[in-house]
Chain A
Amino acid sequence: MTGDGAGGHAELERRYRRLLAWYPWEHRRAYEEEMLGVLLADSRPGQRWPAPGDAANLALTALRARLGVAARAVTDRSWADAAATAGLLLAILLCYLHALPLVRQLVWASAWPSEEVPYWYPDPALWTRTGLWALTLLAAVTGPRWLPALLAWPAVVVELVALPTRYAVDPVQVLQMSAQTLIGVICAAALTVPAPRRAALAVLGRRRLLTIGGVSALILAGSAVQNYLSFPGPGNPVLLLTIGLLLPVGVLVVAVAVWRVPAAVRRRLLVLLTPIVAVLLTVRYGLAGWAYSNQQMGHPIYLEPVQWAALTVVPLAALVLGFVLLLRREQTLRLVALGRHADRRHPHPDEPPADR
């Protein structure tokens, strides 16, 4: 045991405390004081610095403890519920995004068969993806738990396979669609996370799910009608404005419906959606100049490696940041709950306990 006076002892203790700070708070709360006692008891007389072996051992075990906490955090029931819910909601969104151009084309072709359809082209890949996402959605609501992921991943692959060819011709369009591609990847990954059967349905509830699905279908129908009315000339402005309002109002209704899920699931949903927001912002603001240059030049300008790196790193960093903020937020909530519990048990801590 160390015995080189209070100064050296205090210095060693301070240094060990710095090392122990690497542990997650759950571990520190349970063992920090005890571990410190053992470390100091095991130190040599006059020792001022932690032994290298002890320092390495503390760093390694602290890292393992942190990984353990992170692993427990991502395998809890709330994550499974959030992943299933995110998978279902993103499948609805993907159905909407894929059906939108198809519906517009079909409306145009049926309403104006003699006219040349400006953006009509047979796109088997689009039909395939739309069909796969629709089946994924159906499976997520009614099917066995392994089926949605089995349908979602082929839809992602069909999308990814087409990217290189499209990028060679029109890199800006591919970049503008990158958020949609990422939505597909996150949707498939979320549906792959093991969760109880129909977990998303249990979280959202039938009424909320019907609201979200109904609003999405209504916006889709409104878009088709708007498309029909806009050709060949300006349609009824009041009607067009009413249809135009469908989208923001519908988005608001869906947002409110999703916001009312349990708080733990809602926080995790937000974390899962951060990479999508990050990609949208990167493309919108970080690569706006590059997109503008592409429009001005007569030939495609491709992304530089650093731009690719930004496009990859930013969403990953957003996900990690979101995860860390979530852990901190929930840690704060736990501490607040503990404080309230203590307050309830001892409402007047300054007063001596009453004799029984």
Chain B
Amino acid sequence: MTEALREPTFLILTALAEQPQHGYGVLEDVRRISDDRVRLRAGTLYAVLDRLRTEGLVEVDREEIVQSRLRRYYRITGLGAQRLADEVGRLRRNATAASTRLRNAGFVVEGGQA
């Protein structure tokens, strides 16, 4: 059984799921996805990207030089997409179980689908 993804890893994979992005693009996208709740810092972003590359979940799509500075685009791999899909399924099952039990207990779940 695979280990649950940590939130920064989950959000970075989510940011890359639709299209390749460069580092700053991922940073901004993670903020958007999490409604500004998660603000990744560069150190954390590249620690996670390095690990994901080592594990084969993410790879370099292309490199550009913008204003004499390297800009590298990352894309999710097939393995990464599968890992993200597995995690989405796990979270969905947990969320469904939690909302079902809350509903059964008579609680009204605000903002959820219970």
Where the two chains meet, the residues of A that have a C-beta atom closer than 8 Å to any C-beta of B are 27, 30-31, 33-39, 41-42, 53-54, 57-58, 60-62, 64-65
Query: Given contacts A31-B50, A54-B42, A58-B42, could you give 13 more A-B pairs where the C-beta distance is less than 8 Å?
Result: A27-B50, A33-B70, A34-B70, A37-B23, A37-B24, A37-B71, A38-B45, A39-B42, A57-B42, A57-B43, A61-B46, A62-B43, A65-B50
Kindly state the separation between the CA atoms of A34 and B72 in the bound complex, as whole angstroms.
7
A34 and B43 form a contact (CB under 8 A) = no
Given A37-B24, A38-B23, A42-B24, decide whether A54 and B43 contact each other with a Cβ distance below 8 A: yes
B70 and A38 form a contact (CB under 8 A) = no
Name which residue of chain A comes closest to B23, CB basis.
A38
Band of interface residues on B:
10 to 19
Q: Quick one: which of A34, A39, A53 has the most chain B CB within 10 A?
A: A34
B46 and A37 form a contact (CB under 8 A) = no
| Among B44, B49, B70, contact of A37 (Cβ-Cβ < 8 Å) | B70
| Among B41, B66, B69, B72, contact of A54 (Cβ-Cβ < 8 Å) | B41
Inter-chain contacts of B71 with A (CB < 8 A):
34, 37
* A31 vs chain B, min Cβ distance (A): 5
A35 and B47 form a contact (CB under 8 A) = no
Inter-chain contacts of B43 with A (CB < 8 A):
35, 54, 57-58, 60-62
Kindly state the separation between the CA atoms of A64 and B46 in the bound complex, as whole angstroms.
12
B24 and A41 form a contact (CB under 8 A) = yes
B69 and A36 form a contact (CB under 8 A) = yes
Leading 7 A-B pairs by shortest Cβ distance: A61-B43, A57-B41, A57-B43, A33-B70, A38-B23, A37-B69, A58-B43
Q: Can you list, as one digit per residue, whether each of B41-69 has a CB less than 8 Å from chain A (1) or not (0)?
A: 11111110110000000000000001001
Inter-chain contacts of B69 with A (CB < 8 A):
33, 36-37
Name which residue of chain B comes closest to A40, CB basis.
B69
B27 at the interface (CB under 8 A from A): yes
Kindly state the separation between the CA atoms of A33 and B68 in the bound complex, as whole angstroms.
10
Inter-chain contacts of B24 with A (CB < 8 A):
37-38, 41-42
